[in-house]
Structure 1
């Protein structure tokens, strides 16, 4: 069995990952989905974007890249959240010594 050739470009990732993040945030804001399901929601959005938009003619490539889109959005969100929390904690720590 040969591995499929997956054609993607930077615009797929540059657009898909922020769209997945935004859609996941909208789900978080407007529904009562428990927070521990949100990573699964992000992967589902990533799969949908990849299968139906980025790679509509190649299901294997769509699934493969969809997982990348979803997990990249999860990692980006997590990294951003930790960075903001750390900066806020440092700011509060500095204020306590002033």
Structure 2
């Protein structure tokens, strides 16, 4: 009896799903003027929806686990990218 599923990450998980969550979140943010404090929740929900209904539709536990991975990876990637861009801009302004 297997209590926990074996979850394999693959190309889809690492290279496609997380950027899709980021892109959809940014589109929703732009067109629906979502307040910033709702953005992480929206990213998490999109990650869960993609994972449960597309990636891991045959195993609910794996879908929920990987959906959290998709959502929080997108949140972290966006925060990291935003921090890097802001640091670059500040450094560029100091040189001027």
Tell me the TM-score normalized by structure 2: 0.93
Match of 1:47 in 2: 48
Give unpaired runs (5+ residues) of structure 1: none
Deviation of the 1:62 alpha carbon = 0.1
Match of 1:23 in 2: 24
CA distance in 2 between counterparts of 1:25 and 1:39 reads 11
CA distance in 2 between counterparts of 1:83 and 1:92 reads 14
CA distance in 1 between counterparts of 2:59 and 2:42 reads 22
**How large is the Cα RMSD of the aligned pairs?**
1.1
CA distance in 2 between counterparts of 1:39 and 1:51 reads 18
| C-alpha distance after superposition, 1:56-93 (max 9, x if no partner) | 10000000000000000000000000000000000000
Number of equivalences: 95
Q: From the CA coordinates, give the structure whose radius of gyration is larger.
A: 1
Tell me the TM-score normalized by structure 1: 0.92
The alignment partner of 2:34 has SS state of coil
Deviation of the 1:6 alpha carbon = 1.4
CA distance in 1 between counterparts of 2:85 and 2:69 reads 24
Name segments (4+ residues, structure 1) moved above 6 Å: none
Match of 2:10 in 1: 9
CA distance in 1 between counterparts of 2:56 and 2:20 reads 16
Deviation of the 1:32 alpha carbon = 2.7
